[in-house]
């Protein structure tokens, strides 16, 4: 299938990054969100990130302007009806995703491929609630999208080969690398990464180490570029908790029980960088550990 127009649902951190890389690669992109402010903020973020690429010599000024010119924004989900491919990057809640697909699918052509950027939810289950399970699959970008090279491609039980081949071609055109995952809770990256973060939170909860000592230990002792608690703040503690719940519910194994301290932080609204407080307090010039 010749994919030229791509619809992106959700203008948040993931959605604006996906729109950015698609536009740079030459795709026409329609970005939608329920919030006009989110769409405006997304365009500003994309502009800044393109500026950064120009300053590093990765793009020319003409490339920047052309990419921005390929991105349109809309509050009306129906405006994505002419897309060849749709990538849903909304909130990591299954009920929200089902509602989006139910509203969108009546406006799509029969050949349009539907995908979800979900980081953990069953692709088979999402696909089964649409009118095109054979043209549905998982298209999971890593954060931050313009920087990270990996895309997880996840087939549902009904996904056909043509859909998988078309999505693989998009990943290749973006200059990224695809890994193929089976449709099990949290797929590959988050199946390994988020339980590690959860264990780091348990290490804090049980008093084995402080925030600073845990992050320093993993950066200098395991050569991780970012400590697990700092990374949790970057991902969003609500997202970490959501993925742990998917693992716990989907695999019924107590080793995936979310740490009570993670639950408490989310209940407090301390979600990490996006709320200015998590395992670090970001309200000053320098992040300060909160425990």
Ligand-binding annotation for 236, yes or no, is no
Catalytic pick among 152, 181, 198, 230: 152
Ligand-binding annotation for 15, yes or no, is yes
- Edge-to-edge order in the sheet of strand 150-155: 71-74, 28-32, 5-9, 85-88, 113-116, 136-141, 150-155, 177-181
Ligand-binding annotation for 11, yes or no, is yes
For residue 190, the number of C-alpha atoms closer than 13 Å in the C-beta half-sphere is 29
Catalytic pick among 119, 120, 122, 181: 119
Tell me which DSSP letter residue 10 carries: -
Are the C-beta atoms of residues 243 and 194 closer than 8 Å to each other? Answer: yes
- Indicate if 140 belongs to the active site: yes
- Indicate if 20 belongs to the active site: no
Catalytic pick among 88, 116, 122, 140: 140
Query: Alpha-carbon distance 158 to 133, whole Å?
Result: 6
Q: Quickly count: other Cβ atoms within 10 Å of residue 13's Cβ.
A: 20
- Indicate if 49 belongs to the active site: no
Ligand-binding annotation for 13, yes or no, is yes
Ligand-binding annotation for 117, yes or no, is no
- Indicate if 122 belongs to the active site: no
Ligand-binding annotation for 33, yes or no, is yes
Catalytic pick among 73, 116, 117, 190: 190
Q: Tokens 């979310």 appear where? A: 258
Ligand-binding annotation for 244, yes or no, is no
Ligand-binding annotation for 219, yes or no, is no
Ligand-binding annotation for 198, yes or no, is no
Q: At residue 227, what are phi and psi to the nearest 5 degrees? A: -65, 155
Give the residues across from 138 on adjacent strands: 116, 154
Ligand-binding annotation for 143, yes or no, is yes
Ligand-binding annotation for 267, yes or no, is no
Which residues, 6 or more positions from 268, have their beta carbon under 8 angstroms from its beta carbon? none
User: Which residues carry out catalysis?
Assistant: 119, 140, 152, 190
- Annotated binding residues: 10-15, 33, 92, 97, 119, 143, 274
Binding-site residues for NAD(+), please? 10-15, 33, 92, 97, 119, 143, 274
């Amino acid at each position: 299938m010749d994919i030229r127009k791509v619809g992106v649902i959700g203008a948040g951190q993931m959605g604006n990054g996906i729109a950015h890389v698609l536009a740079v690669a030459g795709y026409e992109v329609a970005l939608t969100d329920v919030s006009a402010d989110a769409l405006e903020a997304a365009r500003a973020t994309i502009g800044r990130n393109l500026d950064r690429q120009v300053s590093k010599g990765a793009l020319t000024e003409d490339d920047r302007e052309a990419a921005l010119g390929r991105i349109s924004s809309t509050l009306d989900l129906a405006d994505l009806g002419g897309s060849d491919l749709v990538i849903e990057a909304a909130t990591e809640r299954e009920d929200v995703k089902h509602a989006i697909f139910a509203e969108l699918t009546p406006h799509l052509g029969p050949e349009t491929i539907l995908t979800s950027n979900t980081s953990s939810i069953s692709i088979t289950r999402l696909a089964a609630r649409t009118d095109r399970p054979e043209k549905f699959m998982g298209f999971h970008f890593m954060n931050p999208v313009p920087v990270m090279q990996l895309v997880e491609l996840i087939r549902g039980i009904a996904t056909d080969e043509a859909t998988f081949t078309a999505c693989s071609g998009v990943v290749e055109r973006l200059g990224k690398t695809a890994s193929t995952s089976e449709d099990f809770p949290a797929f590959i990256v988050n199946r390994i990464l988020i339980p590690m973060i959860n264990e780091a939170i348990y290490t804090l909860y049980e008093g084995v180490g402080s925030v600073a000592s845990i992050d320093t230990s993993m950066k200098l002792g395991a050569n991780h570029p970012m400590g697990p608690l700092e990374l949790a703040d970057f991902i969003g503690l609500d997202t970490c908790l959501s993925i742990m719940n998917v693992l716990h519910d989907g695999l019924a194994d107590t080793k995936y029980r979310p740490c009570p301290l993670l639950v408490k932080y989310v209940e407090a609204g301390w979600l990490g960088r996006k709320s200015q407080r998590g395992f670090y307090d970001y309200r000053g010039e320098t992040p300060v550990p909160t425990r």
